[in-house]
Chains A and B, each alone.
Chain A
Amino acid sequence: MDGLVVGGRKIGSRLITGTGGAANLEVLERALVASGTTLTTVAMRRIDAVTGTGVLDLLRRLGIEVLPNTAGCRTAAEAVLTAELAREALETDLLKLEVVADERTLLPDPIELLDAAEQLVDAGFTVLPYTNDDPVLARRLEAVGCAAVMPLGSPIGTGLGIRNPHNIEMIVADAGVPVVLDAGIGTASEAAQAMELGCDAVLLATAVTRAADPELMAHAMRLAVEAGFAARHAGRIPRRYWAQASSPAAD
């Protein structure tokens, strides 16, 4: 029951939140605080004269570590350049590697993803790849040196939950690095389910930032991740076909 360690770095919370989708920085701040997260994703984009480095200033003030992503990249080459820019701007070697195939599904392109992962590990990054719920690809990503694997529950932003729990269990069973369920979570029970399946952490954004009450949903997700983690380690009862009385037999 020790804490989460990714690439030799201790992560203080098993709920990793994304910052994408929040209506404004005040809403984001309240949600981040309610989630109890210590690590949160950001994207790299052209600087805007109005917003400047506002997100970074907020995260610094809240003492939350940044996990830059490569969102929007379609090829390994694009992802590698974005990663280098993120490391330069944010002075961190942590990286959520994201190489998606198309806008409609936002599913990872496994060929480009593995290629980028290998290059970035060689370049000294601590690589956390957003990957398909494919146990074979997860194993290949671990083999090239990724510090964690982050399989999707369902496509980004869909809130469809964990569509293939058995695949997630197989990834967990095989993995020698932390498994982070990333993408697809819609509500608290699904975050708890991810932890019950044996994931080490949950990464989510949309489920919180686009909820009607982001702060309350962030609170719910924090409790769900804690509950699911505790249940996983408490040793659940086996499923039985027939009833088993929990009270003594009548005299």
Chain B
Amino acid sequence: MTIQINGTAHALAEAATVADALAAIDAPAKGVAVAVDGSVVRRADWATTPLREGAVVEVLTAVQGG
């Protein structure tokens, strides 16, 4: 299936989870947070939360600011 990760299309296996999406962009395990279709998915649920076709995944971290 195809999903959007931080605005870029990625092809993932069927039944892919949030954890698979993070692996697809080599995201570090710490210091990041994930929103899927506008809702936060907690770290504890990454491995068990399935993605739907066309899901919009945002992976955020802290950058310089403020």
Contact = CB atoms under 8 A, between A and B. Distances in A.
Task: Answer whether A and B are interacting partners.
Answer: yes
Interface of A: 18-22, 28, 41-49, 51-53, 55-56, 66-69, 71, 81, 84-86, 88-90, 96, 98, 205
Nearest to B62: A42
A205 B66 contact: yes
Contacts of A96: 66
Interface of B: 6-7, 25-28, 30-35, 38, 40, 42-43, 58-66
B40 A85 contact: yes
Contact of B65 (A20, A49, A88, A89): A20
Nearest to B64: A19
Nearest to A88: B33
B66 A69 contact: yes
A157 to B, nearest CB: 11
Contacts of B62: 42-44, 53, 55-56, 66, 68, 86, 89-90
Given A20-B66, A42-B66, A56 B61 contact: yes
Interface centre among B27, B32, B33, B66 (most CB of A within 10 A): B66
A46 B31 contact: no
B35 to A, nearest CB: 6
Nearest to A43: B65
Contacts of B61: 44-45, 47, 52-53, 56, 89
A98 B65 CA distance: 12
B31 A53 contact: yes
A66 B6 CA distance: 24
A155 to B, nearest CB: 14
Q: Which 4 A-B pairs have the closest CB atoms?
A: A43-B65, A41-B66, A89-B33, A42-B62
B64 A20 contact: yes
Contact of A88 (B6, B26, B28, B40): B40
Contacts of B33: 44, 84-86, 88-89
Contact of B7 (A46, A53, A81): A46
Contact of A55 (B6, B40, B63): B63
A227 B21 CA distance: 51
B60 A21 contact: no
Nearest to B43: A88
Nearest to B42: A88
